[in-house]
Amino acid sequence: AQTVTQSQPEMSVQEAETVTLSCTYDTSESDYYLFWYKQPPSRQMILVIRQEAYKQQNATENRFSVNFQKAAKSFSLKISDSQLGDAAMYFCAYRSDRYSGGGADGLTFGKGTHLIIQP
């Protein structure tokens, strides 16, 4: 079974600064997908960014980018120019490749990192 580890229960950053949230995972599979979700105080789960393991290029979505290191099984999220609205819980998630027999059971989540934005 796959596991996802987020080693930072809480992070704090000054508004407009850059912050990086860490995520590592354990898997024996070669094909899989990785996601970052944001959960603000409303508790709505919002997809931030996704990465296919077969792609070497790191995914980017506006101020959000990832550093995907497949050999190290690391998938960190970088938030640039942090804004007050970025304050939330951030969850890293893993999904197996369904054509390899996995993926049908949804995502495996880490325990989350609480991001605080200081004005």
Partner 1 sequence: DGGITQSPKYLFRKEGQNVTLSCEQNLNHDAMYWYRQDPGQGLRLIYYSQIVNDFQKGDIAEGYSVSREKKESFPLTVTSAQKNPTAFYLCASSSDRGNNSPLHFGNGTRLTVT
- Which residues of this chain interact with partner 1, rule CB under 8 A? 9, 31, 33, 35, 42-45, 47, 50, 52, 91, 95, 97-99, 103-112
Q: Which is nearer to partner 1, 11 or 107 (CB)?
A: 107
Q: Which is nearer to partner 1, 105 or 119 (CB)?
A: 105
CA distance 42 to 34: 24
SS3 content of the chain, % helix, strand, coil (to 5): 5, 50, 45
CA distance 95 to 100: 11
Q: Which is nearer to partner 1, 9 or 85 (CB)?
A: 9
CB of 19 to partner 1, least distance (A): 20
Q: Which is nearer to partner 1, 43 or 71 (CB)?
A: 43
CB of 1 to partner 1, least distance (A): 9
CB of 6 to partner 1, least distance (A): 8
CB of 39 to partner 1, least distance (A): 9
What are the structure tokens assigned to 14, written together?
Answer: 């000054």
CA distance 22 to 113: 9
C-beta separation of 10 from 100 below 8 A: no
For residue 64, the one-letter residue type is: F
DSSP state of 28: S
